[in-house]
């Protein structure tokens, strides 16, 4: 038996091929089926922290970015019930941080904001937390604004798995969880992060920003002003495949 031959799962009634070792998310994105997500990035290890990608697998909830695809799976993804839960999760992410979109440099390029639009979010629904979080502007090229961190750990994984460093980690539990810098002082300036590192550019919100380059692209011409989050994420999968092919 050829274990590399395509097998089939069903997502919202559509036959989707997969190979051994792929997750439901891998198979879905390869088939141009969008599953909302924030903590997933092709090429990085799956994390399953944001829970936006939760789907129903044979009637039971599972994170599609960590759940292996397996023959016989009947998967519900784009349903009113799941999208309503996803909207509530997105609203909680907004109110747990300080996401003031009109004044944020990342507006129009923010995946959290784009997910909100995708899910039809009109307000935060829940009372605002307004947490007090530290901003680290010590680095010559980067700013770390913890106000907007959503604990997706993309920067943590990118630093470890792609940059070969260990610049970031998450500390604490519950509402006390926060992003820390692995340096003696706890400051970015004393870490070995560089502007060229993937960790410096992978943040889906405005927690890591490049100095001296704010608002270079006018509002109205930014990523999600032109493309939906679904289009952008599916294009990202295509670009990742091209890069791996070239390598």
What are 17-61's pLDDT values in tens digits? Answer: 999 999 999 999 999 999 999 999 999 999 999 999 999 999 999
What is the tens place of the pLDDT at every residue in 140-149? Answer: 999 999 989 9
Q: Are 219 and 107 in contact (CB under 8 A)?
A: yes
Domain ranges, residue 66: 7-83+230-246
**38 shares its domain with 99:** no
Measured CA to CA, the distance from residue 36 to residue 118 in angstroms comes to: 9
Domain assignment present for residue 223? The answer is no
Where do we find the tokens 């004393």?
190
**109 shares its domain with 210:** yes
CATH of the domain at 26: 3.10.20.740
**Token couple for 166:** 């260990």
**210 shares its domain with 122:** yes
CA neighbor of 14 nearest in space, from 4, 27, 23, 5: 27
CATH of the domain at 127: 3.30.70.20
**94 shares its domain with 78:** no
Domain assignment present for residue 2? The answer is no
Q: What pTM did the predictor assign?
A: 0.89
**117 shares its domain with 162:** yes
What is the tens place of the pLDDT at every residue in 168-180? Answer: 999 998 878 899 9
**65 shares its domain with 99:** no
**49 shares its domain with 168:** no
């Amino acid at each position: 038996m050829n274990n590399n031959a395509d097998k089939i799962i069903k997502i919202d009634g559509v036959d989707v091929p997969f190979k051994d070792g792929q997750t439901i998310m891998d198979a879905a994105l390869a088939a141009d089926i969008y599953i909302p997500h924030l903590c997933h990035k092709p090429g990085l290890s799956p994390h399953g922290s944001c829970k936006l990608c939760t789907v129903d697998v044979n009637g039971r909830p599972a994170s599609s970015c960590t759940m292996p695809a397996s023959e016989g799976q009947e998967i519900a993804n784009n349903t009113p019930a799941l999208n309503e839960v996803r909207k509530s999760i997105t609203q909680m992410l907004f109110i747990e941080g300080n996401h003031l979109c009109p004044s944020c440099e990342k507006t129009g390029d923010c995946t959290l904001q784009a997910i909100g639009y995708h899910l039809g979010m009109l307000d935060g629904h829940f009372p605002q937390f307004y947490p007090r979080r530290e901003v680290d502007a010590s680095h010559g090229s980067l700013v770390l604004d913890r106000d907007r961190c959503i604990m997706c750990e993309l920067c943590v994984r990118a630093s470890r798995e792609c940059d070969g460093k260990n610049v970031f980690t998450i500390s604490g539990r519950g509402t006390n969880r926060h992003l820390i810098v692995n340096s003696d002082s706890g400051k970015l300036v004393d870490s070995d992060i560089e502007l060229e590192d993937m960790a410096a550019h992978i943040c889906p919100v405005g927690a890591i920003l490049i100095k001296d380059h704010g608002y270079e692209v006018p509002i109205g011409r930014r990523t999600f002003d032109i493309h939906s989050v679904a289009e952008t994420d599916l294009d990202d999968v295509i670009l990742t495949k091209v890069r791996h092919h070239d390598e």
